[in-house]
């Protein structure tokens, strides 16, 4: 006890220092844990997104493989029936023209 003021300062540092070190240690562990939780959450969200993309790809493949062929056939049949209807309308138009030519004009 050569310098009582230094002893007092040393005691204060010990009283404040150890709890501060313990608090810093706990804070560091909590920050690390929070980072790990965020990383795990990002991993889970990525997994969910990958599953969603896989489902969409499966649906698109199903539409492409199963339904587009049916749609193409339907459109082809519709075009053929439209061609037949146009042919009938053109025949009617020609018939009307012939009738107009045969009728006397007043």
| pLDDT tens per residue across span 64-92 | 787 777 888 888 988 888 888 888 888 88
Is pTM beyond 0.85? Reply is no
Output the DSSP codes for the chain: ---HHHHHHHHHHHHHHHHHHHHHHHHHHHHHHHHHHHHHHHHHHHHHHHHHHHHHHHHHHHIIIIIHHHHHHHHHHHHHHHHHHHHHHHHHHHHHHHHHHHSPP-
Residues of the chain short of pLDDT 70, as ranges, are: 1-2, 106
* Domain coordinates in residue numbering, the chain: 1-74
């Amino acid at each position: 006890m050569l310098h009582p003021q230094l002893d007092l300062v040393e005691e204060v540092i010990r009283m404040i220092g150890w709890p501060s070190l313990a608090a810093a240690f706990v804070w560091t562990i909590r920050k690390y844990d929070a980072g790990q939780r965020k990383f795990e959450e990002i991993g889970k969200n990525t997994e969910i997104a990958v599953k969603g993309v896989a489902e969409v790809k499966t649906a698109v493949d199903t539409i492409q493989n199963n339904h587009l062929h049916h749609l193409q056939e339907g459109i082809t049949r519709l075009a053929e029936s439209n061609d037949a209807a146009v042919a009938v309308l053109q025949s009617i138009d020609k018939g009307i023209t012939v009738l107009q030519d045969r009728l006397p004009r007043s």
